Amino acid sequence: MSDSATLPAGGTDGPVMGGLSTSGTVTPVAARAIEVIEQALTEAGVTFERPRHEAFLVRLEGRHKLVTMCWLIVEDHALHVEAFFCRRPDENHAAFYRFLLTRNGGTYGVHFALDPVGDVYLVGRVALESVSAEEIDRLLGCVLTYADENFDRALELGFASAIRREWDWRVKRGESLANLQAFARFADPARRTDGAAKGGNGASAGGGTGG
C-alpha cells in the first residue's frame, strides 16, 4: 500500500485529552451516571466496549468518516467525551486548523481540539448531574455529525497530496477507488490542474483514507 495513509485508526487505545481524573472511589452521582450510560447504550443498540467500570468506548458509523470511536468516561465530577477525528495535517496547516475553529462556534457538547502533536479530537465535558439517556443520545449524535460532516473537507485541506498519491497508486495496481470518490474533483488526474497532476504522483506504500 502507499506510504501516504491519510488517517490512522486512532482513538481506541485510551483517552488522550483527559478522562483520567478519578479518585478511585465511585460517588453516588458517578454510580448513577454509569448506570444511566450503560442502559442508554444498551437500549440504543449501539456497539460498545467497557474497558473499565467507568469507561465506555462506543462505535459510531458514518457515511464519510466510516467509523468514529467515542469514549464516554465518568470522572469524579463530570462525564468526559472524546473521539479521535484525524491526525495532524500533512500540509496547509493554517487553513486546516482555521476550518475546524470556525466549526467550533456552532457545536454542542463537544468541540474540535488538538493534542500536543497536533492530532485532532472532538472533546467535551458534561456535569454528572446532567447525564441522562437523552443527553447521551444527543452527545453521541453530535460527535457523529461533526465527525462525519467535516471529514471530507478536512482531508481535502490537510491531506490533498497524499490523497492524490493514493489515487495514483490504486489506479496503477487496479485497486478500488470507491472510498476516494469524494475526492475525485482534485484527485482524479483527468480533473486535476496541471500542477496538481505533476505534484501528485509517486506514492509507494501505506493505507487508505477511510475513517
CB count in 10 Å sphere of residue 190? 6
Contact 147, 85 (CB under 8 A): yes
| Average pLDDT score, the chain | 86
Gyration radius of the chain's alpha carbons = 19
Mean pLDDT in runs of 10 for the chain (211 residues)? 37 60 78 98 97 97 96 96 97 97 97 96 98 98 98 96 95 92 90 53 36 50
Q: What's the sign of the alpha-carbon dihedral 77, 111, 149, 10? A: negative
Here the cell at position 153 is 473537507
What pTM does this model have? 0.81
Here the cell at position 46 is 449501539
Q: Which CATH class is domain 28-155?
A: alpha beta
pLDDT, position 33: 98
Helix-strand-coil percent breakdown of the chain, rounded to 5?
45, 20, 35
Here the cell at position 174 is 487496479
Cβ partners under 8 Å of residue 100, min gap 6: 112, 120, 150, 154
Nearest to 46 by CA among 34, 58, 62: 58
Q: In the chain, where does the domain assigned CATH 3.30.1460.10 lie?
A: 28-155
SS3 149: helix
Q: How far apart are CA 128 and CA 74, in angstroms?
A: 8
